[in-house]
């Protein structure tokens, strides 16, 4: 659907306008206004460049022009606390605008970060993006807007190239990830929707994987209504690890219901199903089959070298001029075992027979060897 049509539909709907209505309209992951109904209320959710997607690694394209991403000011949180907020769909941490991202065609300033998770503990899914059909247990999104072209987040979020989101896949292991405790330890203070607290600021870069050079890149959308197709996605190849206990806390502490609501609803499975790629390309900043390529390359090299060596040996054996040289080098010949020596002699004789003419020529010319 093109954006003019979308705008027309939005204007026709009574009381439904870009941001105000989008924020007010209640939606959920399952139920009455669940994922499959989102597009009835938020037309862009039915668009052709939606997120998340399944990254099929064999169908990605290596783009050597994709530079390493550099977070700027992520570690300089200053003394101002962060705001942690339960918006009924996830836990959001608002980020100061001096945090930004270098390595994209424009400068992008940080706005907020939030998490997506499942409900079944480890290996039951929870991430939004999947790799070759495989889910991770959770996913962190760090949202930025294009501060070079637009004055603020709300102006940027409807524009193509308006947003840049970092996606970090989270898996579980044995070890506690202390960086994630900067968030998880405070979730109990925002158990209900609309609750907000200040938390101590911390180094946001410590939440990211170490390797920021290897990532997947594609054009997509917000993964929640109104699903604007304005996001340059960066999904890191390296996944970060938290403990099973940390995941369990994340999955079981928050409610999607407000404090005054009678029916408490656990905030779980807040991830959207993967969306069709529809001919979009997913680029990689790294050569996916690098190791395989090197192995194959070395093997081809070895075979090639063997062929060349064989050719040279054959050439030596079928010409006689080299024979003169080997005859002059007496020392190495003596080290040979007797049967080998005999064999060599026979070969020499055979070669000598075929090259009498050349020999004569050689003798008549001045000796080239001392």
19's enclosing H/E stretch is helix 18-24
Please, what is the minimum distance in Å from the beta carbon of residue 287 to ligand NAG? 17
Are the C-beta atoms of 168 and 179 separated by less than 8 Å? Answer: no
Nearer to ligand NAG, 42 or 215 (CB): 215
Nearer to ligand NAG, 22 or 247 (CB): 22
How far apart are alpha carbons 290 and 285 in whole angstroms? Answer: 12
Please, what is the minimum distance in Å from the beta carbon of residue 217 to ligand NAG? 5
Helices 338-354, 356-364: axis angle to 10 degrees equals: 80
Please, what is the minimum distance in Å from the beta carbon of residue 155 to ligand NAG? 4
Residue 233, judged by CB atoms within 10 A of its CB (0-12, 13-18, 19+), counts as buried
Residue 260, helix vs strand vs coil: coil
Contacts of 193 (CB under 8 A, 6+ apart): 86, 87, 88, 255, 256, 257, 258, 259, 267
Please, what is the minimum distance in Å from the beta carbon of residue 193 to ligand NAG? 22
How far apart are alpha carbons 357 and 61 in whole angstroms? Answer: 62
Please, what is the minimum distance in Å from the beta carbon of residue 71 to ligand NAG? 20
Nearer to ligand NAG, 97 or 348 (CB): 97
237 is catalytic: no
In a 13 Å sphere around the CA of 287, the CA atoms on its Cβ side amount to 7
Nearer to ligand NAG, 229 or 320 (CB): 229
How many Å is the Cα radius of gyration of the chain? 33
Which member of 41, 77, 89, 141 is catalytic? 89
> What sign has the CA pseudo-torsion 255, 17, 94, 111?
positive
329 is written with which tokens?
A: 């080098």
Residues in contact with ligand NAG by the rule CB under 6 A: 151-152, 154-155, 217-219, 281, 283
End-to-end CA distance of the chain: 86
Helices 338-354, 321-328: axis angle to 10 degrees equals: 140
Please, what is the minimum distance in Å from the beta carbon of residue 154 to ligand NAG? 5
Nearer to ligand NAG, 114 or 217 (CB): 217
Nearer to ligand NAG, 182 or 275 (CB): 275
Residue 337, judged by CB atoms within 10 A of its CB (0-12, 13-18, 19+), counts as exposed
**Which positions are annotated as active-site residues?**
89
């Amino acid at each position: 659907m093109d954006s003019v049509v979308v705008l027309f539909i939005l204007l026709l709907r009574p009381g439904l306008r870009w941001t105000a209505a989008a924020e007010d309209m209640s939606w959920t992951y399952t139920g009455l206004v669940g994922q499959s109904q989102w597009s009835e209320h938020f037309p862009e959710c039915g668009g052709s460049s939606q997120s998340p997607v399944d990254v099929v690694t064999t169908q990605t394209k290596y783009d050597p022009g994709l530079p390493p991403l550099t977070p700027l000011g992520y570690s300089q949180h200053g003394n101002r606390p962060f705001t942690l907020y339960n918006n009924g769909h996830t836990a959001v941490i608002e980020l100061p605008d001096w945090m930004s991202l270098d390595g994209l065609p424009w400068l992008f300033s940080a706005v907020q970060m939030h998490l997506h998770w499942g409900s079944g503990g480890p290996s039951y899914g929870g991430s939004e993006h999947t790799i070759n059909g495989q889910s991770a247990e959770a996913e962190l999104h760090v949202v930025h807007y294009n501060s070079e072209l637009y004055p603020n987040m709300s102006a940027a979020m409807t524009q193509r190239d308006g947003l840049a989101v970092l996606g970090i896949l989270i898996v579980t292991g044995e070890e506690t990830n202390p960086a994630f405790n900067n968030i998880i330890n405070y979730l109990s203070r925002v158990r209900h929707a609309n609750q907000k607290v200040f938390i101590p600021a911390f180094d946001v870069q410590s939440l990211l994987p170490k390797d920021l050079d290897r990532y997947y890149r594609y054009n997509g959308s917000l993964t929640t209504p109104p699903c604007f197709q304005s996001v340059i996605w960066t999904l890191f190849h390296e996944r970060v690890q938290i403990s099973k206990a940390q995941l369990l806390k994340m999955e079981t502490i928050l409610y999607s219901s407000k404090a005054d609501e009678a029916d408490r609803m656990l905030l779980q499975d807040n991830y959207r199903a993967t969306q069709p790629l529809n001919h979009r390309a997913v680029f990689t900043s790294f050569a996916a089959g690098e190791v395989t390529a090197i192995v194959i390359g070395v093997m081809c090299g070895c075979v090639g070298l063997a062929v060349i060596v064989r050719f040279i040996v054959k050439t030596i054996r079928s010409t006689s001029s080299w024979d003169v040289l080997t005859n002059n080098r007496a020392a190495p010949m003596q080290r040979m075992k007797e049967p080998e020596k005999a064999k060599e002699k026979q070969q020499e004789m055979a070669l000598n027979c075929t090259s009498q003419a050349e020999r004569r020529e050689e003798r008549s010319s001045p000796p080239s060897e001392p």
